[in-house]
């Protein structure tokens, strides 16, 4: 196994995901700069998913045509462009465009990261390659926001030094990837579009990840404006770090559980973790917010994420790529639509009412998802009889 090559790709993956939430602690300041509210911020945030969807639905076979390394290089270039845009013209319009570009880059990465890492470390080290990918990407999603929070706590700015620091690090990652080998077997005859599929028994897992990532999206996009009421918005980057990266600590445990039990455990954790986050944000208790985000991350990026994906792949043995795409389609719908609706409700009703309504819907959704996951596990255990 070539550990140096694995490190270079891991660093690149971390830099790609670091760009995604690099400006997260600035959302409220950017909205105030443009004279807009939380709803507009949520729409700009959701442009990330608008970039992901075309790739997820129509271009997930691109690696078979051009190889894996060009897609990683393209993702890094898009991250550099998006970050430069935020430096040159800070505002919600720039944020929306940057999020769209970052969504395209993340979609390219999601489609090929595991396969590329396995190619570098060796086919016999599948578990090791998965660990490298999940750890580096989860760390990156929270790292950018945390670093930006550190700088704006020291000196408030809509163009903090973390942006310049990122440009240097991402440029280094680009140079490190250029010399990586790429032994992808290219074929122009394979289909570019592979539509998502939902085999019987996978709906519960899809609903679970939708609810989990809706909670993550709310923490990233809505929480800064709630914390601003108590003068704590600069700390929101640490909340993003907790909800995105904390789940890495729980992934080894999640791997030891059967998929339905891991998912069920995550569904049990999610409502009370969200309740702690919402109560802490509304009342201004930062410690409660940070503890709640770590607990939520154990579900969102630990038990539900790994358990749900494993459950889907176990059911859809004949069409793993299409079923996986369906799972992530549900995840990204959750990451966008509920966040936009909640942002509009914040502008109309206030933070307390909007966050309470989200919590009620979350609790109802968790109940339905739990029943569906339990039913899926029961159906999997029952023997199937063939008619004579």
User: Residue 53: which CATH number?
Assistant: 1.20.1250.20
pLDDT at 124: 61
Q: Please, are residues 189 and 251 in contact by the beta-carbon 8 Å criterion? A: no
Residue 271, φ and ψ in degrees, nearest 5: -65, -45
Residue 286 in this model has a pLDDT that exceeds 70: yes
> Do 208 and 98 belong together in one domain?
no
Q: What is the pLDDT of residues 169-201, one digit of tens each?
A: 999 999 999 999 887 776 655 566 667 778 888
The rounded distance, in Å, linking the Cα atoms of 138 and 241 is 9
The rounded distance, in Å, linking the Cα atoms of 275 and 243 is 14
The rounded distance, in Å, linking the Cα atoms of 54 and 34 is 29
> Do 256 and 295 belong together in one domain?
yes
- Choosing from 151, 180, 209, the residue where a domain stops is 180
The answer to the question of residue 187 being in a domain is: no
> Do 387 and 265 belong together in one domain?
yes
pLDDT at 261: 94
| Across 111-130, average pLDDT | 73
Q: With bands split at pLDDT 50, 70 and 90, how would you rate the model's confidence at 62?
A: confident
The rounded distance, in Å, linking the Cα atoms of 196 and 262 is 23
The answer to the question of residue 185 being in a domain is: no
The answer to the question of residue 226 being in a domain is: yes
> Do 173 and 215 belong together in one domain?
no
| Across 310-338, average pLDDT | 83
Residue 54 in this model has a pLDDT that exceeds 60: yes
More confident residue, 281 or 57: 281
The answer to the question of residue 40 being in a domain is: yes
Domain extent for 198: 194-388
> Do 150 and 227 belong together in one domain?
no
> Do 50 and 140 belong together in one domain?
yes
Q: What is the pLDDT of residues 243-264, one digit of tens each?
A: 998 888 898 898 889 989 999 9
Residue 339 in this model has a pLDDT that exceeds 90: yes
The rounded distance, in Å, linking the Cα atoms of 136 and 324 is 20
* Class of residue 382 by CB neighbours under 10 A (exposed 0-12, middle 13-18, buried 19+): exposed
> Do 304 and 381 belong together in one domain?
yes
- Choosing from 180, 215, 245, the residue where a domain stops is 180
Q: Please, are residues 278 and 356 in contact by the beta-carbon 8 Å criterion? A: yes
The answer to the question of residue 324 being in a domain is: yes
- Choosing from 139, 158, 180, the residue where a domain stops is 180
> Do 102 and 138 belong together in one domain?
yes
The domain tally of the chain equals 2
> Do 198 and 173 belong together in one domain?
no
Q: With bands split at pLDDT 50, 70 and 90, how would you rate the model's confidence at 385?
A: very low
pLDDT at 387: 37
| Across 236-247, average pLDDT | 92
Structure tokens that stand for 165 in this block: 């620091």
The answer to the question of residue 237 being in a domain is: yes
Residue 157 in this model has a pLDDT that exceeds 50: yes
- Report the mean per-residue pLDDT for the chain: 88
More confident residue, 114 or 1: 114
> Do 298 and 328 belong together in one domain?
yes
The answer to the question of residue 189 being in a domain is: no
Indicate the length of the chain as a whole number.
388
> Do 125 and 40 belong together in one domain?
yes
The answer to the question of residue 262 being in a domain is: yes
> Do 152 and 207 belong together in one domain?
no
Q: With bands split at pLDDT 50, 70 and 90, how would you rate the model's confidence at 113?
A: confident
């Amino acid at each position: 196994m070539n550990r140096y090559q694995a490190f270079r790709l891991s660093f690149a993956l971390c830099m790609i995901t670091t760009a995604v939430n690099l400006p997260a602690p600035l959302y409220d300041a950017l909205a105030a700069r443009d004279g807009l509210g939380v709803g507009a911020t949520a729409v700009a945030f959701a442009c990330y998913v608008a970039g992901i969807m075309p790739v997820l639905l129509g271009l997930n076979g691109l690696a078979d045509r051009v190889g894996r390394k060009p897609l990683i290089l393209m993702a890094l270039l898009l991250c550099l462009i998006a970050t430069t845009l935020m430096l040159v013209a800070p505002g919600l319009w720039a944020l929306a465009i940057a999020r769209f570009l970052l969504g395209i880059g993340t979609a390219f990465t999601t489609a090929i990261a595991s396969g590329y890492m396995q190619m570098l470390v060796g086919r016999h080290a599948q578990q090791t390659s998965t660990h490298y990918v999940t750890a580096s990407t989860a760390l990156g999603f929270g790292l950018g926001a945390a670093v930006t929070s550190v700088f704006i706590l020291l000196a408030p700015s809509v163009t903090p030094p973390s942006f310049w620091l990122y440009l240097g690090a991402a440029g280094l990652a680009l140079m490190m990837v250029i010399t990586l080998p790429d032994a992808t077997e290219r074929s122009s005859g394979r289909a570019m579009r592979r539509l998502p599929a939902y085999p019987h028994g996978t709906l519960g897992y899809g609903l679970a990840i939708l609810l989990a990532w809706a909670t993550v999206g709310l923490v990233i996009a809505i929480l800064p404006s709630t914390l601003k009421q108590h003068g704590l918005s600069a700390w929101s980057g640490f909340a993003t770090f907790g909800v995105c990266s904390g789940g890495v600590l729980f992934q080894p445990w999640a791997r030891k559980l059967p998929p339905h039990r891991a998912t069920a455990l995550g569904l049990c954790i999610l409502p009370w973790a969200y309740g702690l986050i919402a109560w802490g944000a509304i009342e201004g208790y930062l410690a409660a917010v940070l503890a709640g985000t770590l607990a939520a991350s154990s579900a969102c990026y630990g038990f539900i994420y790994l358990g749900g994906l494993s459950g889907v792949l176990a059911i859809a043995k004949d069409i793993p790529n299409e079923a996986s795409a369906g799972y992530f389609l549900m995840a990204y719908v959750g990451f966008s639509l509920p966040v936009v609706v909640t942002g509009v409700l914040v502008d109309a009703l206030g933070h307390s009412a909007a966050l309470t309504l989200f919590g009620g819907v979350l609790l109802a959704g968790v109940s339905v998802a739990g029943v569906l996951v339990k039913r899926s596990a029961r159906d999997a255990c029952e023997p199937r009889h063939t008619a004579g």
